[in-house]
Chain A
Amino acid sequence: MIGGLFIYNHKGEVLISRVYRDDIGRNAVDAFRVNVIHARQQVRSPVTNIARTSFFHIKRSNIWLAAVTKQNVNAAMVFEFLHKMTDVMAAYFGKVTEENIKNNFVLIYEILDEILDFGYPQNTDTGILKTFITQQGVKSQTKEETSQITSQVTGQIGWRREGIKYRRNELFLDVLESVNLLMSPQGQVLSAHVAGRIVMKSYLSGMPECKFGINDKVLMESKGGKSGQDEGRGGASSTKTSIAIDDCQFHQCVKLSKFETEHSISFIPPDGEFELMRYRTTKDISLPFRIIPLVREVGRQKMEVKIVVKSNFKPSLLAQKVEVRIPTPLNTSGVQVICMKGKAKYKASENAIVWKIKRMGGMKECQLSAEIELLNTNDKRKWTRPPISMNFEVPFAPSGFKVRYLKVFEPKLNYSDHDVIKWVRYIGRSGLYETRC
């Protein structure tokens, strides 16, 4: 059970301090600041134990969020809560910055009162919170509405209120994936996995029941050869029909009992945006890019680097925001870069050459070559050659994930599945996408 929650700015000044339990003393605030924020050595562990008190912290840009407890709590739960907390704050006032926290501190205390009760996490769903934690411009509710809130918050479906009406029933599905890769210089995949999320934005009237179909191997097999391919723009892996999902987790609205028994994902969605599902795959990943590095040390004073980037997806698709980061030795004294496409620059502050390509089509190849001048140093240690990393964004799911269908049933109101306008979008981003050189 969380005993207290503190928010600090980068200097360690306390912005928000909320204590839920008596076992957390006043000095806990200072203990964290002294031992973690101002520690001589950077504290890398997210959990710190100081005088029998555990501090769980996350950092968002320059803001530190720390949850404190004296008990043996579920650490995953605490971190989940902290992340939810930042999501809620972001939903209320945008970016979590010192400025914004200072401007909204009354609101933050209000939220903290609501989402944690005596240290036990409560409903952290933004949509619901917004119904009773209101901001400027939002009127306070009438008597009936207030009573409705009570029944709804305490009721079975706590995430959706009744009586929602839209003229156009619409829903948006975003499949967001991040690809993580570590590749040897020879092109051998050392490790690769995809972490994906499905974010849904629903604007549906009434209390609709949705059914969601994906091309997961298990779900597909249990359904047999029922109905062929659904709509959806084909990625590079269109030939594959099903993928193996290693593990997944759902939003609270998904009826897990049905998932267990019938292998179907059915739910009554909250109104607005929410994360329906998270999953992870490790097999048959189609890697969008491949880097072929060539590093040659010419004597002690000079080094030559040649990098080839190959895109490996349908030529019709276009990758965006491609960025290759080539680390340089610590004793670099000068760099000359030549590249055919995009812009490359030596960034001394980051000890790397950064090569940016705005757009890049599928099945293409780009090349960069650089000459690095080195300064003689007393340091006898050899340069460790950190891996070359890469960032990009591609319009397909590298895991091969597909949405097969999303059906909406609302028996009480007069619209059917066909009347709902559905949008599906696939975005593949790079996570830690590295190639050793």
Chain B
Amino acid sequence: MPTVKGDGMRGLAVFISDIRNCKSKEAEIKRINKELANIRSKFKGDKTLDGYQKKKYVCKLLFIFLLGHDIDFGHMEAVNLLSSNKYTEKQIGYLFISVLIGANNDLMKLVIQAIRNDLASRNPVHITLALQCVANIGSREMAEGLSVDIPKLLVSGDTIDSVKQSAALTLLRLLRSSPDIIPMGEWTSRIIHLLNDQHMGVVTAAASLIENLVKKNPEEYKGCVSLAVSRLSRIVTSSYTDLQDYTYYFVPAPWLSVKLLRLLQNYPPPEDPAVKTRLTECLETILNKAQEPPKSKKVQHSNAKNAVLFEAINLIIHMDSDPNLLVRACNQLGQFLQHRETNLRYLALESMCLLATSEFSHEAVKKHQETVITALKTERDVSVRQRAVDLLYAMCDRTNAEEIVGEMLEYLESADYSIREEMVLKVAILAEKYAVDYTWYVDVILNLIRIAGDYVSEEVWYRVIQIVINRDDVQGYAAKTVFEALQAPACHENMVKVGGYIMGEFGNLIAGDPRSSPLVQFQLLHSKYHLCSPATRGLLLSTYIKFINLFPEIKHTIQDVLKSDNNMRNSDVELQQRSIEYLQLSSIATADVLATVLEEMPPFPERESSILAKLKKKKPNSVPDGSEQKDQMPKLPTAQMSNSSDSAQPTSINLMSQGSPAASGAASASVDLLGLGTPTQTTAPPVGGGDGFLVDMFDTLTTSSPAPATNGMDLGGLTGGAEEAFKKFICKNNGVLFENDLLQIGVKSEYREDLGRVWVFYGNKTSFQLNAFCVDISTPGDLATSLSVQQKPVGGEVEAGAQVKQQFNMACVQEFTDAPILNIQFMYSGAQQKINLKLPVVLSKYITPAEMDSGNFFGRWKALSNPSQESQQIFKASAPIDIETTKSKLLGFNVSVLDNIDPNPENFVSAGVLHTRNQQVGILVRLEPNKQAQMYRLTVRASRDRVAKILCDLLQSQL
């Protein structure tokens, strides 16, 4: 028989021991059935049960329930127990209710009433029991019923500390389950002051509560910052003997410290200098403490210490304002990189990833490159290796790109399968983003395909083709490289695709070498043909027809291949059709027609890199978003390779759209090769038709009225009418810059961080040749030092109705105000013509938009409060104020338009990063329209002097 001490319930003990002694499940069920029948008859009986009996039976029911049986009675008895004054009876009652009564039970009203009575009681034990029950159930009904009682308890002067602690946590629980219900207004300041409470337990509980409240309503709880900082500094500076009960393995109040540090991460760095200094001191002390020798060898000691340290580093990263702290944090993490503990290494790599994105600590992070690379190679834990890859990606910039990409490529060969695809994408992006030399880029991607062909997604090889096609300088090299790569006995299908495409386009560039003569090229490609999937074969067939155009001497060999049953009667309809059509095309069409149809691919329009989009989709977290300036993704020579899934499609679209009209010689097709989804800004250069038909490539945009004909000799001044057009280009990149009777000048430009490329198209509108056509570019004033300009020469004559293209590379060295001037001179019917135009290259072109949330925005906004960093203008709107128009203007200005930041929804808030060669400048814009007065107030803040002013003027001219 079980022995029962003191107040215990003998019947319960007997019952439990009976159950434990049951030999089988059946016996147990029998015993329970018997007990249930007994309890039912007791509860049914007319004579009233005393508290003890009720408690005993309720307890038995609870036990039976916990054994896994359904209990459908006894609830009323349990609720009755709540009104008892005995602790044990109340306790069992609450226990039964927390476990067994669901939120929707009919008895809930009674329960809440009982709880309210207990909360009002003078006995702290009763209050605590009631609070516990509330926290356990936390239903909406409870939140509604008790939303006043609990906060009252929390801030009342008479409540004892332990009750306050429970009340804070209970309130937090209710807040989580029904956030809208608690009216906190009047309690705010008193709750904040709980952070000053004597009792550390209360502070800890309150810190959790306040953090939750702050997340909902940061403004209202702003006052907690200074309190939290002072509390934190008191903890940090105290020695471990001061806080007796709250010292954990020699670390003073680690949990509270972590909570306070987290709380502070909800706010920007404090504005009050005193508070700020104090916080900086705290963080410094924490960093200092990390350097001290450990006070204990126990793992708990180091865990607690490191927890505080990592949270402090997170806060430092969040504030992102003190370079000294950031560098120190970085060094501290550097030490952890070599720590024995795997978790520490993981955390260090993860935090470093964030640090790498801060402009202050980026350099400091780079110091650890070697260590990170070693970690990548030697680390045993795959998740840590993954972090190392992330960090390498984050720390990469122009200076170390080559090395990092090299290391990643090397590691890729032995990398885990789970992270290969991601690594491939990252390598591809880094190679593209930081490629100085595009031959290097081509090498890297081809290597990538060779090493990890299976993991190279479509986007990656689309990209390489786009870049090769858009850049004349690498085409020959690319053709040579793929030719060499294809000579390997076994190469990946992606390699064959890239090879087929590039050789089809640029095979002629290497055909001079006898080792890569046309026939050799063809045979090399055809040797891979049979091993490929139908899609690749289709692509190769297109390559073959292009070969026929490029190398008429091997026409018959290729025709034989097209004729073979293998192709003509292939079961795959696509292949069959291609071979038949190509065969017909090659045998019927004349060389001229062929040449027209199979013209070299025009450059691709530039859009956001599809690879990047893919990486973002794949791992939303791993690519830091725009809020981090550094990681602003490049908006660069990019073209999205249509949304086609068929890898061979680019070729086939090209052929289809140009194929049929080509016979008539009309070359009017303005084909957006890829932009199936983007109707505007189509840019298909004219396909040399040569029948006097001038292609107005910018027809969708041409709005400027023909400028008055200027045979002007006005040497110094600008040609009239161009100023107007210039203005338009501030918010757009492509369009017609100038037009008169003789000449139409179109501009197409693209910018990627601090690099810009501008193509100028000169179209001869006359029916005569323009002679001695020469273009020069001048950079007035200090523009010469601020903007580095490279110019490609343009030929002496422009044929009647033809168009020539000239490319300029414009790199932004530092901020500038003026635009470069284009001087065009040519002879028309014996007369010297001169046109001077401002080339629309303005500072705003080098901005990339940035996304950030409200806290982040205002944090930065306030950080840029120096008068020289701000420029404000109030002016009358040039056109009626329209939200959408203004928005699109802002977007054209390359800054983001951020929603839900400004309290006034009318106002526009934007952010961006200006890239110059020397530095990156954060730009914040606030535009407040006033519809009644048709006025704007425009405020621009930038982290570099002058920039704000320049941009403010530019933007004003647009509004």
Contact = CB atoms under 8 A, between A and B. Distances in A.
Interface string B749-793: 000000000000000000000000000000000000000000000
B73 A378 contact: yes
A334 interface: yes
Interface string B13-43: 0000000000111000011011011101101
Given A331-B72, A375-B73, A348 B23 contact: no
A27 interface: no
A184 interface: no
Interface in B95-132: 105-106
B298 interface: no
Contacts of A377: 72-73
B33 A62 contact: no
A331 B23 CA distance: 26
A332 B40 contact: yes
Contacts, number: 49
Given A375-B73, A378-B105, A379-B72, A333 B30 contact: no
B44 interface: yes
Given A62-B24, A348-B34, A350-B33, A378 B40 contact: no
Contact of B40 (A42, A349, A375): A375
Given A10-B23, A42-B25, A373-B44, A331 B34 contact: no
Contacts of B23: 10, 62
B318 interface: no
A349 B43 contact: no
Interface in A334-349: 334, 348-349
B166 to A, nearest CB: 29
Interface in A367-386: 373, 375-379
Contacts of B72: 330-331, 377-379
Q: Main secondary structure on chain B at its contact with chain A?
A: helix
B75 interface: yes
Interface string B70-90: 101101000000000000000
A242 interface: no
B25 A348 contact: no
A64 to B, nearest CB: 11
Contact of A333 (B33, B43, B70): B43
Interface in B38-84: 38, 40-41, 43-44, 70, 72-73, 75
A131 interface: no
A330 B70 CA distance: 11
A351 interface: yes
A299 to B, nearest CB: 14
Contacts of B106: 378
A433 to B, nearest CB: 21
B33 A349 contact: yes
Nearest to A301: B44
Nearest to B44: A333
Interface in A298-356: 330-334, 348-351
A334 B42 CA distance: 10
A334 B44 CA distance: 9
A109 to B, nearest CB: 26
Contacts of A350: 30, 33
Contacts of B33: 348-351
A375 B105 CA distance: 18
A375 to B, nearest CB: 5
Contacts of A331: 40, 72-73
Interface in B429-443: none
Nearest to B33: A349
A350 B29 CA distance: 8
Q: Main secondary structure on chain A at its contact with chain B?
A: loop
Given A333-B44, A334-B44, A373-B44, A348 B75 contact: no
A352 to B, nearest CB: 10
Nearest to A380: B72
B910 to A, nearest CB: 58
Contacts of A351: 33, 37
A57 to B, nearest CB: 15
Given A333-B43, A334-B44, A348 B31 contact: no
Contacts of A62: 23-24
Contacts of A42: 25
A392 B70 CA distance: 34
A385 to B, nearest CB: 17
B132 to A, nearest CB: 23
Contacts of A348: 33-34, 36-38
Given A333-B44, A349-B33, A10 B73 contact: no
A42 to B, nearest CB: 7
Nearest to A42: B25
Nearest to B24: A10
A284 to B, nearest CB: 37
Given A375-B73, A377-B72, A349 B30 contact: yes
A250 B106 CA distance: 64
Contact of B34 (A349, A375, A376): A349
Interface in A2-55: 10, 42
A88 B882 CA distance: 96
30 contacts: A10-B23, A10-B24, A42-B25, A62-B23, A62-B24, A330-B36, A330-B72, A331-B40, A331-B72, A331-B73, A332-B37, A332-B40, A334-B41, A348-B34, A348-B38, A349-B31, A349-B37, A350-B30, A350-B33, A351-B33, A351-B37, A373-B44, A375-B44, A375-B73, A376-B73, A377-B73, A378-B72, A378-B73, A378-B105, A378-B106
Nearest 7 A-B pairs (CB), nearest first?
A348-B37, A379-B72, A333-B44, A349-B30, A333-B40, A349-B34, A377-B72
Given A349-B37, A376-B73, 19 more contacts: A10-B24, A62-B23, A332-B37, A332-B40, A333-B40, A333-B41, A348-B33, A348-B36, A348-B38, A349-B30, A349-B31, A349-B34, A351-B37, A375-B40, A375-B44, A375-B73, A378-B72, A378-B105, A379-B73
